[in-house]
Structure 1
């Protein structure tokens, strides 16, 4: 092997963000932002006060160790710096001269109180990117409010759609608002660094957890699942909680529960054959979503009868053979022992801060060039550094002529073969930031997202997910089509797909082929369960991924075993898209120095598992500890969702500290006796009395409007929020003040659509240029002329042969 070959191989294996230096001031909420960037190779140093950052005290705690910190602090380093002191302030300023990114996850006034105002830092370090992560951002009427996971779910319209029928709203398991926001923050940080590579200038990113939650977890304005039939989240959201969603049903079987997703005509045909030839729905019209939806309860009753006597293993095996998407509704303990996840190396030992193997937990979000980007090193002890402490400045001088703001991905071309939600969203993220995104389509294998109850190929959902893209009709199953696609690859930077594993290879378009056409291309593939392992070929949709990873089993009312309440959510599609986008962008940043591309492989299941890391760590240590209801509002009391005066009105609130408790007692009747009770001193003591405190709080909120509860508690520094419904979000004064909304004018839809703005509230990143989503094959002729240098007569011949497709 030549020296050049060795060098190239070493470069391909190098972590893409190696050399990037990040200083993090963490608060125990969005720490996964720094952790993910560290997974990708950045040096992340936490600046911690003498007693350690709050992250070290976030539950669950086992043997004096924070399981949150062990997972979210992995791959990082620590340095004792307290910017609230004069010495710490000097240390911080001295250190920042050698760093590329400052992650400031404190409240909006903290740095200013330390005489470290953002404007001062920008003046002193003009090439530094400053990422400020706060509950509500540094501007707007909620600027000084305090939030928690439940508050963000309530204000983002997520809580209103979680739960069943007439039951109370149900908080989803874990800390999904924080985990999803953290990944969007990482995406935004890399966009700013990409922009800096062109301008030489840093910037301040004013990042709001609320806005990120509203865009990612279960977005009110984003693309919805294929089972929605093209309807928007607002069209699908009732005032009360939704009934059990019949298109993602769960069925008891002999030894557990399974979930079945029959969505497209081929899947229904397979299920119809399994049901037998004598059922009443054999007419081919029931292959269509609209016809089947009209009799869905009768159909589900037949499926229930079929599956009831069978075992989970038999059902999964036969579903795989027949091409019917099915998954087990797994418990966390099932997940930890799942043969597929074990075969993929999803779980591995996690060490405590002393370096001792402590428990088993998820290792990371994805793979780059066949290597898992996950935990390489334990979370540090306080003040523990692992790498060289010589942090010299790496900022490049500003190129000339780049004073005006530019979109960070201008000049990037993306070939987008993605389908359904995750595929649409990933391409849109790049298009919004200036990339030329070409959606490659074929009428014989249409994108399920174009399916609608009306039969139209343009719906609100598709428009939201495919804005700013171009559409090319190209048949990849013929030789000439593959030839044209490879010609496009030569002129492109990124290729996206989320087919069943092996599909691109079967088309003759595997990574090695694409790399041969363009060594600098970044190729992305995504699937439900990953592209290796016993279940790799299983068809997967979001509901099945949630079931297989234990999320569905936890997302229910504790007192009702089959009250699964994730039927209308589209998590983790938007979350996975941002994980993928961040990794792809990391490779594009590396390519600026090496000229090399690479391959990113992402499993939606592993996105969920890594986002729930501390809980799987807990389950491995204390089997049976992670059950429905015990992963929400942990170690806060009173906390949760409380009914208020009015028609199905609710608020979320949480008392997380002794200071908040004393303030809260001042509002309640009997406050003197409560504040004086020794059995309620300390967070753990109140947690033990949480049922009693919940009842007292419920009696207090019941006769007040949710607005009154929210305003009164926020005035004393206690996190609280009214539960907003999807149709109430546009009137929210804070979202309005922060320009959260834009308008999308889609020619096929009579009224302008309200759509989301960019991924960060205030920054130097230009707002997206909102253009309509394309009709099928709308830009085929344009792209064929522009990129393939084909004449009109050439194009006509290729259309006639079926290689190219144009609008009818």
Structure 2
């Protein structure tokens, strides 16, 4: 008999009334054990997309009308609806119900009637402005990353709201905008950023696209290409040794990333060193030298890899014609079991009842130890901090968080401030016996521990789940890594660019007429959205803990987050079909009036085509028999694109979008990060807020809220900490350590509070800047 899978959301009942590309919101809940009743009489998804988005849900033939809803909602915990229904009558009958109204642009604002497609979201989120290579037009990212990231954000918001409702007995109505979700979870221009921005705020990047091949270079080899990420000095020294220590690059200045970027001879020398070697050989040799490297694989190659098979990252389900189709097998591993495609739903032994706690935010009263680093770790912890938890960022002077790197000499930046707001910092030496003992005492009082180190790191430090659960059986521990906690690739050095290369995304992210134009160099996907998947796993286990008292573990592989988002493409690969669905014409980016300004226009079908022809004054196209069908229009794409381009050229991007949206055609101006604060939609939604930090002269821009809600409280505005800033107060508050003992641990180096010299350096730096 198959092993029974213990799914943490067993007993949770969800009613799904979403018909479009946001249907995947509830698939994650189904994988985690919720019973999802799907009431959609028609769907705009094609058969493959429908299977990927909705496998594991219980489909009802009856329409999603009031009578059917009444029958299901009496026992439901969550309703997700895109029909604009008034939830008030349903909430009256079920006061603990969480109702999410889903729409592209949210309710009650001037953009609520706009039409959305993935390109529209890329344009409005600023992702499009950063995609492509210099000298070319912006490049639309492959697949439907914006909708997929929005769906994951929606799933996180649902479990967070559900956790609050189960604690308090009070439901709420969430107004979820898919654009808000895409802006926050795909690659936010405001917020924490990684090395892709080279230490600068995303809004300070060049208006043009990045230069080809500068960041995370992709180099040819015997059987394709490989990508390298030489970030830390130790990684460069490994590369230097691997190359045989050539004299031309022996100067100590090459330890600096800027020197390596400026060198005209370095990349050609590395390319020559790679010549004649296969991807597999280079991966093996590079890893032996400590060089982060990955072969560029197609999606099909990743699906067929030993690693994907060992991880059970894919599974088969019946296709639209009854033949098997391969689909992603979930994004989370919980308590060692993969939360993949669910089978029969059984929740007889998993009754979930609401409590009556008096809290405002979902995570009020929780204690979180945040060992996360860089972007993924920062985001998972920040979600808990914004949600009311006491989040302690655990730091070490010997191994500082890479996001502490800054042009300021005291390791603080606008990016770090945005990613770690509402947290406190504990400086501690976990390699020492005293540090380990203090951490274990803190862990005994914690609710959640988050990390994203190389697999096995916590166990090697003696602070793994098995050790902590002996004194704290309710602890929830979540880890994230590039390729997962096990499998042949688990020990690989993992950065987002290498994960994108290994899973087939980089291979797809290029201009169709230039096979060497790989264009994903400044995106930070999937870091932000993987942080949300980590939070989903943690909250799901906290929900289970409400009824069992027991915690557990959840594990996230960034590669599998990306695979889940490419689920429809993976299914098509398994059936030998083209990766991309044929699109109607036009579907793309068009130059507008202005300096390097563009707009996107997308036609989804016959109705959009007719509206477009009328809006741009080409009614004659409607009577042209060659344009009568989508296939005919695709055959004459160049002629149509030329006509659309001529109409766009003298018009500003905003005029193009407003004219076409008024006609019902999905269109949007391409915004840059600096445009977001003043764009009408974002001011109407109040999505961003400007915060001040006591040790920064620049303002910190970050999200004001993650969604509109009848009960949601806006996050607090506690500034991000200096490294170790609250070390003494944390050990005194959490474990009752007296002041003398805490001071002794600081004196011995076990605790690492912020030194007085740091505050003096801050004053000196700011005084110097004021004079300048």
Q: Residue 561 of structure 1: CA displacement? A: 1.0
CA distance in 1: counterparts of 2:643 and 2:351, whole angstroms: 56
Q: Could you say if the C-alpha distance between residues 121 and 695 of structure 1 is closer, same or farther in structure 2, counting changes exceeding 3 Å?
A: farther
**Cα deviation per residue 1:173-231 (whole Å; 9 max; x = unaligned)?**
00011100001111111111111123312111001111111112110102111354432
Unaligned runs of 5+ in 2: 756-772
C-alpha contact (below 8 Å) 2:131/2:139 kept by paired residues: yes
Q: Are the structure 2 counterparts of residues 239 and 267 from structure 1 closer, same or farther at C-alpha, using a change threshold of 3 Å?
A: same
Deviations 1:495-532 (A, max 9, x none): 11111111111111222112112111011111111111
The CA deviation at 1:582 is: 0.9
The equivalent of 2:727 in structure 1 is 780
2:37 to 42, 45, 60: 45
Q: CA separation of 1:312/1:395 partners in 2, compared to 1, >3 Å: closer, same or farther?
A: closer
- Tell me the equivalent position of 2:659: 712
1:221 aligns with 2:180: no
Residues 1:604 and 2:558 aligned together: yes
1:149 is aligned to 118
Structure 2 distance, partners of 1:135, 1:618, is: 26
Whether 2:301 is the aligned partner of 1:311: answer no
- Selected match of 1:265 from 233, 256, 262: 233
Question: Structure 2 length normalisation: TM-score?
Answer: 0.93
Q: State the partner residue of 2:365.
A: 411
Residue 255 of structure 1, CA deviation: 1.2
Q: Answer whether contact 1:97 1:392 (CA < 8 A) is retained.
A: no
Match of 1:162 among 124, 128, 131: 131
Partner Cα distance (2:702, 2:411) in 1:
19
1:15-164 alignment runs, 5 A limit: 15-49=7-41, 52-55=42-45, 58=46, 66-83=47-64, 88-106=65-83, 110-111=84-85, 117-164=86-133
What is the aligned partner in structure 2 of residue 381 from structure 1? none
Distance in 1 (CA, whole Å) between partners of 2:438 and 2:178 is 43
Contact map agreement 1:25 1:105 (CA 8 A) in 2: yes
Q: 1:348-401: per-residue Cα shift (whole Å, max 9, x none)?
A: 2232257x4522232111200111111134xxxxxxxx668x99998856627x
Q: 1:226 to 1:639 in 2, by over 3 A?
A: closer
Cα 1:574–1:20 shift into 2, 3 Å: same
| Corresponding residue for residue 184 of structure 1 | 153
Query: Contact 1:225 / 1:570 at 8 angstroms: preserved in 2?
Result: yes
Q: What is the RMSD of the two structures over their aligned residues, measured on CA atoms?
A: 2.2
Structure 1 pair 296/342, CA: closer, same or farther in 2 (3 Å)? farther
Question: 1:380 is matched with which residue?
Answer: none
Q: Assess, with a 3 A threshold, how the Cα gap between structure 1 residues 393 and 317 changes in structure 2: closer, same or farther.
A: closer
- From 380, 384, 396, give the equivalent of 1:442: 396
Secondary structure at the residue paired with 1:804?
Answer: coil
Q: Secondary structure at the match of 2:391?
A: strand
Distance, in Å, in 1 between the alignment partners of 2:121 and 2:60 is: 31
What residue is the counterpart of 1:641 in the other structure? 589
Matched, 1:302 2:269: yes
User: Paired residue for 1:324, among 288, 291, 306?
Assistant: 291
Asked whether 1:362 is paired with 2:328, we answer: yes
**Matched-pair contact (CA < 8 Å) for 1:251–1:308:** no
User: Which one is further off, 66-75 or 783-792?
Assistant: 783-792
Instruction: Please tell me whether the aligned partners of residues 80 and 99 of structure 2 are also in contact (alpha carbons under 8 angstroms).
Output: yes
Structure 1, unpaired ranges of 5+: 1-8, 59-65, 112-116, 378-385
Task: Write the distance in 2 (CA, Å) between the matches of 1:459 and 1:45.
Answer: 46
Measured after TM superposition, the shift of residue 96 of structure 1 is 1.9
Task: Check the 8 A contact 1:203/1:763 in 2, yes or no.
Answer: yes
How much has 1:791 moved relative to structure 2?
A: 2.5
Deviation of 1:570 after TM superposition, in Å, equals 0.2
> Quick check: 1:416–1:437 contact (8 Å CA) kept in 2?
yes
Which stretch of the first structure deviates more once superposed, 331-340 or 678-687?
Answer: 678-687
For residue 374 of structure 1, give the secondary structure of its aligned residue in structure 2: coil
1:287 pairs with 2:255: yes
Which of 679, 684, 691 pairs up with 1:744?
691
- Name the structure 2 match of 1:674: 621
Per-residue Cα deviation, 1:778-808 (whole angstroms, up to 9, x for no partner): 0111112112322333223222322111112
Instruction: Give, in whole Å, the separation in 2 of the partners of 1:552 and 1:296.
Output: 25
Shift of 1:729: 0.6
> Shift of the alpha carbon at 1:682?
5.0
CA distance in structure 1 between the partners assigned to 2:752 and 2:643 by the alignment: 65
CA contact (8 A) 1:349 1:358 kept: yes
Q: CA deviation at 1:324?
A: 0.9
Give distance in 2, aligned partners of 1:392 and 1:307.
58
Aligned residue runs from structure 1 range 385-400, under 5 A? 396=353, 399=356
Secondary structure (helix, strand or coil) at the match of 1:524 reads strand
Distance verdict in 2 for CA 1:168–1:558, change over 3 Å: same
CA offset digits 1:413-435 (Å, max 9, x no partner): 11111111111111111111011
Match of 1:651 in 2: 599
Are the aligned partners of 1:98 and 1:391 in contact in 2 as well (CA < 8 Å)? no
- The structure 1 residue matched to 2:310, chosen from 326, 343, 347, is 343
Report deviation, 1:675: 1.7
Q: CA deviation at 1:244?
A: 2.7
Q: Is the 8 A contact 1:330 1:553 kept in 2?
A: yes
Q: Deviations over 1:449-498 (max 9, x none)?
A: 11234544101111111111111111111222111111111100111111
Deviates more, 1:566-575 or 1:748-757: 748-757
Shift of 1:141: 1.8
The answer as to 2:521 corresponding to 1:567 is yes
1:688-744: per-residue Cα shift (whole Å, max 9, x none)? Answer: 554443333222222222111111111111111111111111101111111111122
Structure 1 residues 392 and 497, CA gap change in structure 2 (3 angstroms): closer
Deviations 1:635-671 (A, max 9, x none): 3322211112222221112121322222222123341
Aligned to 1:501, the other structure's residue is in SS state: coil
Provide Cα deviations, 1:534-585, integer angstroms capped at 9, x if missing partner.
Answer: 1111101000000000000101101111111110000000010111111110
| TM-score normalised to structure 1 length | 0.89
Give the paired residue count: 753
- Taking the aligned partners of 1:331 and 1:563, their CA distance within structure 2 comes to 15
Summarize the Cα distance change of 1:748–1:791 in structure 2 as closer, same or farther, 3 Å threshold: same
Q: Distance in 2 between matches of 1:30 and 1:779?
A: 41
Distance in structure 1 (CA, Å) of the matches to 2:349 and 2:468: 38
Alignment of 1:727-738 (within 5 A): 727-738=674-685
> Whole-Å Cα distance in 2 between the matches of residues 367 and 393 of structure 1?
20
Deviation at 1:168, TM superposition (A): 0.8
Q: Secondary structure at the match of 1:663?
A: helix
* Deviation of 1:678 (Å): 4.5
Closer, same or farther in 2 for the Cα pair 1:430/1:536, shift >3 Å?
Answer: same
Name the SS for the 1:674 alignment partner. helix
Spell out, residue by residue over 1:733-764, the C-alpha distance to the aligned partner (whole angstroms, 9 max, x if none): 11111111112212221132221122113442
**Greater Cα shift, 550-559 or 301-310:** 301-310
SS at match of 1:154: helix
- Structure 2 vs 1, CA of residues 395 and 125 (structure 1 numbering), >3 Å: closer, same or farther? farther
- Whether the aligned pair in 2 keeps the contact of 1:99 and 1:391 (CA below 8 Å) is no
The CA distance in 2 between the partners of 1:124 and 1:643, in whole Å, is 53
Alpha-carbon offset, residue 684 of structure 1:
5.2
